[in-house]
A and B are shown apart, each in its own frame.
Chain A
Amino acid sequence: MRRIFHYLKPYTFLAIISPLLMIGEVFADLCLPKLMTVIVDCGISKSGDVSESALGSTVMRLLFGEGTYSSMQVIITFGVLMLVVVLIGGFFGVACAYTAAKASQSMGRDLRCDAYRSVMSLSIEQTDRFTTGSLVTRMTNDITMIVDFTEMLLRMLVRSPMFFIGGSIMLFSLDLSFSMVMLCALPVLAITLFVVLRRAIPLYSRVQTKLDRVNSVVQENVTGARVIKAYVREDHEGERFRQANGELRDTNYRVQKIMAWMHPVLMVVMNVSIIAIIYLGGWQIENVAGTGMTAGTIMAAITYVTQVLMSLMMVAGMFQSVSRALASVRRVGEVLDAKPVIRSGAVREGKDDVAVSFRQVSFRYPGATGEPVLHNIDLDIRRGETFAVIGATGSGKTSLVNLIPRFYDATEGEVLVDGVPVKKYDLEALRQKISFVMQKSELFSDTIADNIRVGKTDATQEELCRAAQTAQAEEFVSGFSDGYETYIAEKGASLSGGQKQRMSIARALVRKPEILILDDSTSALDLATEAKLRHALKKDLRNTTVIMIAQRIASVREADRIAVIENGTIRDCGSHDELMRCSETYRDIYESQMKNGGEQV
């Protein structure tokens, strides 16, 4: 809640003016019954005799001077007056809506941008923990919920209490006995609201959980459609969905069933109050001399009682949204409060000749238990060196390179780039030095040119073409009718795996990095293309330090040094020839690939 106010601060003026404007609207609404009373009492019942109504006589005197007035005169005068009041009220209402919308939407924009900025500063492990889906809903649904709630708050904060207080005062001014009716009605209503809301509100969060469940089943089915069809598990999935869906329906139904009590109870309370008022009015006329009670007074009292009770209903409605909005505030707050685990240092330039070094590095994924993924890694990679990493599935190859651009931080030990610990670098400066090509290509729904430009925003067409040429992407890109301007839909769903990988490589090359990391990023390329790519890289990147992870011996063979990783430690390290001589593991890998074909060497 404090958070909402914090974000509203820049719009304090609007946020204050808005409820004030609402006072105007409420005032107009409260005036109307008074004016109507005059029409009914003086205009219709007493044929224009306004002497008994203070309001009526004052207005008529001001407009037409002293004297008697015809009934039509009174009705039309007050009719016009009513319309004028309505117009003024309407003006205030629209002005209030405008200011409230402006304040809350501006606040929403700020909140959204801040939350987004916070998301963009999170460390990889944190986005993993939040999960994509939940971050998206927090950024959109939850913030929309907060904005809507704030807007309603600005408009209703004043409206309901004003109606409540204004209506009560008006009622008191009419007759004391009428206000007794209200005093009796209020507790009944309040208790009902309390009981209903207390039961309904916890259920709302249950509904949310059930909905999440339904969503996740759908998500898995859409993304895993192929596997589900291949194993003919549609019925099983259908059953799973029906169950989740059924639970959602039941919970929803339970909430709505509880909420259904609200309206009828209110109606009963309201109508009983109306009956009581009419009866009390009648009784007074009969038994109390000179009460001044009239049919018009009773009518007005009915209107006010209705208003007061309705305003209480509105408050009830607000309670309901308060609980939902608070849940949203909490969820967005978690994003805002998430301080990046990986913090930027200040150093912008290194000084050493050793491009990358690992000093006694051990690593375990955050939150994971068991053996660490990497143990005591000691490694120096010289500038301009081509360094390859090879090893079994799950041996820690990707984890090793993830530490260089600080996607994760080492659990123990230090990683240095250009002689400076990565933790001391300004993150942007550090990552500026590095191009990282992932195992799984991540493309954006954008043109090919813009996807490559991710590497270097201001790259010229020439630079794009060069990078694409080196990455062996030129050929297929120029095959598209729109060339570089071809639009890639749904994260590259229209491209084959190999094409996606080559685009990711082009993107990495266009920024001319000091360090190029290729994380098994040529696995989908056919062998001919990969060989061409390797040669092009060698020619173009003479001063770049290249760190590559690969499965094929052919890919790593030409590297200056090759590290063989096994169970998180570097088993052997050296050139192909050295390893062939002294590393049994390496020879094993070699054998596994060269079997029957090894005679070539």
Chain B
Amino acid sequence: MNQNTKSSNQNQLPPLRPGGRSGGPMNSRVNREKPKHAKETLGKLLRYIGKSKTLIILLISIMVLVTVADLAGPALQGAAIDTIRLVDGRVTVDLPAMTRYLALMGVLFVISASLSLVQGIVAAKLSQNTVYMLRNDLFRKISKLPIRYTDTHRHGDIMSRMTNDVENVSNAISQSIASLISSVLTLVGAFSMMLYYGWIMALIACVTIPITITLSSTLAKFMRKYFVDRQKLLGQLNGQVEEMVTSYKTVVAYGKEKQAIEDFAKCSEEYKTCSIRARVWGSIMGPCMNFLGNFQYVLIAAFGGFFVLHPVSFMRTLTIGNIQSMLQYSKKFTRPVNEIANQYASILTALAGAKRIFEIMDSADEVDDGCSELRISEINGNIRFEKIEFAYEKDEPVLKGLDLSVDAGKKIAIVGATGSGKTTIVNLLTRFYELDGGRITVDGVDITQLPKETLRKSIAIVLQDTVLFSDTIRNNIKYGRPDATDEEMKRAAALARADVFIERLPDGYDTVLAESGSNLSQGQRQLLSIARAVLADPKILILDEATSSVDTRTEMHIQQAMVALMRNRTSLIIAHRLSTIRDADQIVVIKNGRVSEAGNHEELLAAGGEYYTLYQNQFAGIST
């Protein structure tokens, strides 16, 4: 298990809390795409697309047909125009022959157009399917990631991988991939047609290719630099807005609006400059390609013209029509290269996005290999922590050999100074984090042996930071047990003392909570979380500062109501407020990563140790 934790560490992105500040105040983390990674990422992406084999094969075969039809077009067109001849200084035409060619062309084009319609639909299907799969897999992956991952990575960053990056990949697949395949096919086709007209001409046409490649790759290098910078700056802008808007109350309270605007303007200006540069470099590509294309055109015209007038023995005689067709092909020849140059930016974005997506895909899953067949109904709730060692970050141990045992049906309170590791115990018991040493058992079974589903279904927790979903109050309470009846749901709400305020709401239990539950007060949110935990009917209930924003009288009523409910169940309570914990069967004081004392309220007070000091402090204000 240790090994697993370590290997997942290596897969992580740079950890939070970097040594100092680097760059601006909001240094967003944008990964620069490196070429060798690009190849690897491309491979993975292609494998993904490759999953829809039938569609791919269908698409490529249609593309081959369309390309062939497109290539035959100029040949027929050339032949049709060739029926116009100069005879004795007069222009004449062989109309029946021309009509034949034109009819052929018409048939060909209709076939080609219908095929390309099918091609468009198949390509859309392929790209949408691939993206759908990619999104689903990414989502499944995110839900399998250990909590450590979500705790140490910017949520905004994970979000943007799921949305922006997937979107970029999707655009590339639907536009670039299809046009790339057809470009390559056209290139091959055009070249073979040229070969057909004469290898010398084909050779001449090829002259421009090395120039094109050198030029475009040089340009691309410049483009990429500005392009990457631009994305990075855009990320920074994003980050600034997001941070300032989420902390808007603080910004307003301290009159920081002006400074925020200044910072933003600075970043915006940089972004502007960078975008202009990127655009200008990008716009140079077009004319360069255009020049090369026309250069090839002139070359073919010149040499073609030369060969028409001076037929050479090693090549078959060229007609004017041949040259016409070749000039058409020459255009077809440069277009794919152009196309690739045009798609460069979007392919680059897609690859950068794909890389970020695969970074998540490749990180280690939450470990879940327990195979104990213990059933939830069989769990009694005897919990033992044995010699627990744990550190969030290497060399900063939080728990150092903690021992603790909780008997089934008991109410245990954990107290200790801020940062002493109380919440960590919850994180370990629910296996949000894995131990570095020691073991935790539930009814004598090591929790690593239990399937996570069994373990977690037997526990209900109420967290310090309440999480509510933008759904109705009813569904939020039923979250832990969706099949509960409304009766049961209302009873749970009543027990958590949430019924009073819910019934006062115009829509009662059908009130839809706003984005961040902002239509409720902090304390009301906590009451809802408690109702949710109560309804889940767990064997083990964990309350981690669950009532910190609830007034003490309400809290007292909840506690009284819980007494009956928690008979035969184990509860673990973390709180600063001593009134919250005084009734516990056992109070455990945590200090320096260990249990420093344990006992009930009276025993601990009598002992005059750590707890006594805490207690004195709480009432210090009162007793003076």
Contact of B246 among A82, A442, A554, A555 (CB under 8 A): A442
A294 in contact (CB, < 8 A): yes
Is there an interface contact between A392 and B93, defined as CB atoms closer than 8 Å? no
Partner pick for B521 among A82, A394, A442, CB 8 A cutoff:
A394
Interface string of B543-583 (1 = CB under 8 A from A): 00100111111111000000000000000000011110010
Tell me if A575 counts as interface (CB < 8 A to partner B): no
A-B contact pairs, 10 of them (CB 8 A): A90-B286, A97-B280, A109-B268, A132-B242, A222-B142, A224-B469, A232-B452, A237-B143, A249-B128, A589-B552
Per-residue B-contact encoding for A76-93, CB less than 8 Å = 1, 0 else:
100110110011011101
Which of A227, A272, A457, A489 is B17 in contact with, Cβ under 8 Å?
A489
- Docked-complex contact A94 and B548, CB < 8 angstroms: no
CA–CA, A83 and B622, complex, Å? 93
Known: A267-B113, A597-B619. A279 touches B102 (CB 8 A): yes
**A476's closest neighbor in chain B, by CB?**
B419
B443 to chain A, nearest CB (A): 19
Contact B506 A370 (CB under 8 A): yes
Q: How far is B143's CA from A232's CA once the two chains are assembled, in angstroms?
A: 10
In the complex, the answer to whether B129 meets A249 with C-beta atoms within 8 Å is yes
**4 nearest A-B pairs in the assembled complex, by CB-CB distance:** A90-B287, A260-B120, A393-B523, A97-B283
A434 touches B (CB below 8 Å): yes
Q: How far is the CA of A505 from the CA of B325 in the complex (A)?
A: 80
Contact between chains at B302 and A75 (CB < 8 Å): yes
The segment out of B2-10, B149-157, B434-442 that lies at the interface is B149-157
Q: Which of B311-334 contact A (CB under 8 A)?
A: 320, 323-324, 327
A282→B464 CA distance, assembly (Å)? 85
- Interface: B453 (CB within 8 A): yes
Residues of A within 8 Å of B106, CB to CB, are 271-272, 275
Given contacts A43-B301, A219-B159, 7 further A-B pairs with CB under 8 A are A39-B305, A90-B288, A97-B279, A109-B268, A222-B159, A286-B93, A491-B246
Question: In the complex, which residues 128-156 of chain A have their Cβ closer than 8 Å to any Cβ of chain B?
Answer: 128, 131-133, 135-136, 139-140, 144, 147, 151
Q: What's the Cα separation between A278 and B109 when bound, in Å? A: 15
Interface membership of B237, Cβ < 8 A: yes
CB of B405 within 8 Å of the partner chain: no
A202: chain B residues at CB < 8 Å are: none
Instruction: Select from chain A the residue with minimum beta-carbon distance to B623.
Output: A600
Report the Cα distance A389→B536, complex, angstroms: 35
Closest to B481 in A: A231
Known interface pairs A140-B238, A218-B159; A121-B257 also in contact (CB < 8 Å): yes
Contact yes or no, A393 B527, CB < 8 A: yes
Asked if B26 lies at the interface with its beta carbon under 8 angstroms from chain A, I say yes
Contact status B309-A282, CB under 8 Å = no
Q: Indicate if the CB atoms of A487 and B17 lie closer than 8 Å.
A: yes
Residue contact B116 to A94, C-beta cutoff 8 Å: no
Query: Which residues of the partner chain B approach A259 to less than 8 Å between Cβ atoms?
Result: 120
Residues of B within 8 A of A119 (CB): 241, 245
Which of chain B's residues have a CB closer than 8 A to the CB of A444?
Answer: 25, 243, 247
Which B residue's beta carbon lies closest to that of A532? B617
Stretch binding the partner chain, chosen from A375-383, A462-470, A496-504: A496-504
Shortest CB–CB separation between residue A140 and chain B, in angstroms?
5
**Complex interface residues of chain A between 363 and 379 (CB less than 8 A to chain B):** 365, 368-371
Known: A86-B294, A136-B241, A256-B124. A595 touches B579 (CB 8 A): yes
Contacts of A216 in B (CB 8 A): 470
B residues contacting the other copy or chain, number (CB 8 A): 187
Complex CA–CA separation, A229 to B102 (angstroms): 68
Q: Are A442 and B579 in contact (CB under 8 A)?
A: no
A267 pairs with B116, CB closer than 8 A: yes
Asked if B48 is at the interface of the complex by the 8 Å CB criterion, the answer is no
Q: Is A19 positioned at the interface, with any CB of B under 8 Å from its CB?
A: no
Do A446 and B245 touch across chains, with their CB atoms under 8 A apart? no
B464 and A593 within 8 A (CB): no
Indicate if B445 sits at the interface (CB-CB under 8 A).
no
The answer to whether B18 and A489 touch across the interface, beta carbons within 8 angstroms, is yes
User: Is there contact, CB below 8 Å, between B98 and A221?
Assistant: no
Chain B contacts for A108, CB-based, 8 A:
272, 275
Name the one of B167, B286, B456 contacting A231, with C-beta atoms under 8 angstroms: B456
CA distance A144 to B144 in the complex (A): 34
Q: Is the CB of B582 within 8 A of A597?
A: yes
Q: Is the CB of A83 within 8 A of B621?
A: no
Measured CB to CB, the closest approach of chain B to A112, in angstroms, equals: 5
Would you call B551 and A391 a contact (CB within 8 A)? yes
Pick from B91, B295, B523, B621: contact of A554, CB below 8 A: B621
A226 near B467 with CB under 8 A, answer: yes
**B125 interface hit (Cβ, 8 Å):** yes
- Interface assignment of A245: CB less than 8 Å from any CB of chain B: yes
Closest approach, in angstroms, between the C-beta of A476 and any C-beta of chain B? Answer: 7
Residues on the A chain within 8 Å of B283, using CB: 93-94, 96-98, 101
| A517, B294: Cα distance in complex, Å | 74
